[in-house]
Chain A
Amino acid sequence: MQVTITLNGKPYTAEAAPDTQLLHFLRAAGCKSVKCGCETSGCGLCTVHMDGKPVLSCSVLAAQADGHAITTLEGLQAEAEEFGGFLADQGGEQCGFCSPGFIMSVLAMAKELDASATDQEIREYLAGNLCRCTGYQSQLRAIRAWLAAKEGKAE
């Protein structure tokens, strides 16, 4: 079947089998930031935005995404680079494998939470992204510094 999505702001059409996961559809389209991690919907590595909301591309079929707008890290380079700088400053990326999915979740979170968000609210929002290196403290510091900088309250 033919699937047409708006991929990172541009129309994209390709053939997909009825059971093709969006994850593999996007990787075939060249979006290699979208990674296959746990295969059990639990790690957040494959997070993309569907109509602006974060979803697990391993749990959505390409057919379900037909007609929708999909954004991957490739489509948010400027924002990702900005936050990535804060992440690097705090040593929050380490092996870097979880970073694409993590950054996609953080960018989605920034639309819902501001610098007044509590640590608990941030942790809850990002509970679906697993990182086996950092223990999450450095990531939390990076988010706090980034949110403060966005609001002109540099820490």
Chain B
Amino acid sequence: MYTAQQYVKAQSLQHAFELNQKRSTTLLAGGCWLRMTRRKVGTLVDLSGLGLDTIEETGEEFVLGAMVTLRQLEQHKALNEAFHGLFKEMTRHIVGVQFRNCATLGGSIAARFGFSDLLCALLALDCQVELVGAGRVSLEAYAKMPYDNDVLARVYVKKNGRRPVYQSMRNAETDLPVLAVAASEKDGQVRVVVGARPARAAIVDEPLPLNAGKDELEAFCAAMQRQLTFAGNMRASEAYRRHLANVLTGRCLAALQEG
């Protein structure tokens, strides 16, 4: 468990941003992962009073506040209807309900965890993040950025007809994923994202045709294996992860082809 010398409830996003410029400051979203660390925090800045715990729908997009909990994402009817249950599927394996009532979207995305189900799944959609300092940035670019002192405020998910699916492999039901693959189809082209390799989720450069047969899928997987890095850790070896990436990609494609 970390220690903190001071607890401050941010009065505004700008206030949080200013406080976060000090190296000894740490932002507090859900706090679920932070509590696993032994960090010595000077000032803990709680973002819970900023009204960032809402999910709003406009004509073009969903606006998800950074403090929306994983459980909210899992249960939100309109969000799950619009994206074929993706938000439920990407969250329901994460520990338990009481954990998902604490952990937040912002905490998971801003940390860009190498095991993150959320980052992997959302990269399959067309998303942007709103940063207090840098403004709106595509999630794809944000996923590659180094950590800085900016504050993630919201995630925007475009409603543009992308049809996503999500597959993950775990050693035990509520454990972190050994590997995760998300895919989404639009205009006959499939975007594939691979996460928990264990490294930040990344989009495969080459698109996969929706009507790909066995040979095309094999060629795509070979290109994916060349592009992405995989590694071994206590959960799985590099070789097993590489094998899983091909298997889960095939399953995602099959699910999309079945409709």
Could you tell me which A residues sit within 8 Å of B by CB distance? 1, 18-19, 21, 39-42, 44, 47, 50, 53-56, 58-61, 63-64, 105, 108-109, 124-129
Q: How many A-B residue pairs have CB under 8 A?
A: 84
Q: A47 contacts B98, CB within 8 Å?
A: yes
Q: How many angstroms between the C-alpha atoms of A109 and B174 in the bound complex?
A: 18
In the assembled complex, B99 has its CB within 8 A of some CB on chain A:
yes
Q: How many angstroms between the C-alpha atoms of A47 and B100 in the bound complex?
A: 12
Q: How many angstroms between the C-alpha atoms of A101 and B41 in the bound complex?
A: 30
Number of interface residues of B (CB under 8 A): 29
In the assembled complex, B255 has its CB within 8 A of some CB on chain A:
no
Q: How many angstroms between the C-alpha atoms of A39 and B1 in the bound complex?
A: 8
In the complex, which residues of chain A have a beta carbon less than 8 angstroms from the beta carbon of B71? 53
Q: How many angstroms between the C-alpha atoms of A55 and B2 in the bound complex?
A: 19
Nearest B residue to A19 via CB reads B4
Nearest B residue to A108 via CB reads B97
Contact with A along B163-202 (1 / 0, CB 8 A): 0000000000110000000000000000000000000000
Q: A64 contacts B101, CB within 8 Å?
A: no
Closest CB in chain B relative to A17 CB, distance in Å: 8
Q: A56-B99, A125-B97, A126-B96 are in contact. Are A18 and B1 (CB under 8 A)?
A: no
Q: B174 contacts A59, CB within 8 Å?
A: no
Q: List 22 A-B contacts (CB under 8 A).
A: A19-B1, A19-B2, A19-B3, A19-B4, A19-B41, A41-B36, A41-B95, A42-B95, A55-B98, A55-B101, A56-B32, A59-B35, A59-B99, A61-B7, A63-B46, A64-B31, A105-B96, A108-B98, A127-B96, A127-B174, A128-B97, A128-B99
